[in-house]
Amino acid sequence: MKLISCNANRPLAEAIADHLDCPLSNAEIKNFADNEIFVRINENVRGEDVFVIQSTSKPANDNLMELLICIDALVRASASRITAVIPYFGYARQDRKTDGRTPISAKLVANLIAKAGADRVLTMDLHAGQIQGFFDVPTDNLVAMPVIEKDIRTSHASDDVMVVSPDVGGVVRARNLANRLGVDLAIVDKRRPEAGKSEVMNIIGDVSGRHCIMVDDICDSGGTLVNAAAALKDKGASGVSAYVTHGVLSNNAVKRIEKSVMDEIVICDTIRPTEEDFKSKSLRVLSVAPLLGEAIRRIANNESVSKLFD
Give the fold, CATH level 3, of 145-287.
Rossmann fold (3.40.50)
* Low-confidence residues in the chain, pLDDT < 70: 192-198, 200
Question: What's the pLDDT at 169?
Answer: 87
Q: Is 93 annotated as a binding residue?
A: yes
Query: CA nearest 113: which of 58, 52, 25, 59?
Result: 52
Question: What's the pLDDT at 199?
Answer: 76
Q: Long-range contacts made by residues 264-269, C-beta under 8 angstroms, separation at least 24? A: 265/219, 265/222, 265/225, 265/241, 266/148, 266/151, 266/241, 266/242, 267/219, 267/243, 268/124, 268/144, 268/147, 268/148, 268/244, 269/9, 269/11, 269/12, 269/15
Q: Is 302 annotated as a binding residue?
A: no
Q: Is 264 annotated as a binding residue?
A: no
Q: Is 221 annotated as a binding residue?
A: yes
Question: What's the pLDDT at 87?
Answer: 98
Question: What's the pLDDT at 70?
Answer: 98
Question: What's the pLDDT at 201?
Answer: 80
Domain covering 2-142+290-309 assigned CATH 3.30.70.100 in the classification:
no
Q: Is the pTM of this model over 0.85?
A: yes
Q: Is 306 annotated as a binding residue?
A: no
Q: Is 159 annotated as a binding residue?
A: no
Q: Is 19 annotated as a binding residue?
A: no
Question: What's the pLDDT at 266?
Answer: 98
Question: What's the pLDDT at 196?
Answer: 54
Q: What is the 3-state secondary structure (H, E, C) of the chain?
A: CEEEECCCCHHHHHHHHHHHCCCECCEEEEECCCCCEEEEECCCCCCCEEEEECCCCCCHHHHHHHHHHHHHHHHHCCCCEEEEEECCCCCCCCCCCCCCCCCCHHHHHHHHHHHHCCCEEEEECCCCHHHHHHCCCCEEEECCHHHHHHHHHHHCCCCCEEEEECCHHHHHHHHHHHHHHCCEEEEEEEECCCCCCCCEEEEECCCCCCEEEEEEEEECCCHHHHHHHHHHHHCCCCEEEEEEEEECCCCCHHHHHHCCCCCEEEEEECCCCCHHHHHCCCEEEECCHHHHHHHHHHHHCCCCCHHHHC
pLDDT tens digits, one per residue of 194-226: 655 557 689 999 999 999 999 999 999 999 999
Residues 146, 151, 154: CA angle, nearest 5 degrees: 125
Residues 148, 288, 271: CA angle, nearest 5 degrees: 105
Question: What's the pLDDT at 276?
Answer: 85
Question: What is the distance, to the nearest Å, from the Cα of residue 85 to the centroid of all Cα atoms in its chain?
Answer: 12
Annotated catalytic residue: which of 58, 107, 115, 190?
190
User: Could you confirm whether 190 is annotated as catalytic?
Assistant: yes
Q: Is 205 annotated as a binding residue?
A: no
| Cβ within 8 Å of residue 272, ≥6 positions away | 8, 9, 10, 11, 12, 55, 57
Question: What's the pLDDT at 197?
Answer: 55
Q: Is 34 annotated as a binding residue?
A: yes
Q: Which residues of 127-137 are buried (b: 16+ CB within 10 A; e: fewer)?
A: beeebeebbee
Question: What's the pLDDT at 192?
Answer: 65
Size of the chain, expressed as the number of residues it contains: 310
Question: What's the pLDDT at 166?
Answer: 93
Instruction: Indicate the residue type of 209.
Output: G
Q: Is 94 annotated as a binding residue?
A: yes
Q: Hey, where are the domains in the chain?
A: 2-142+290-309, 145-287
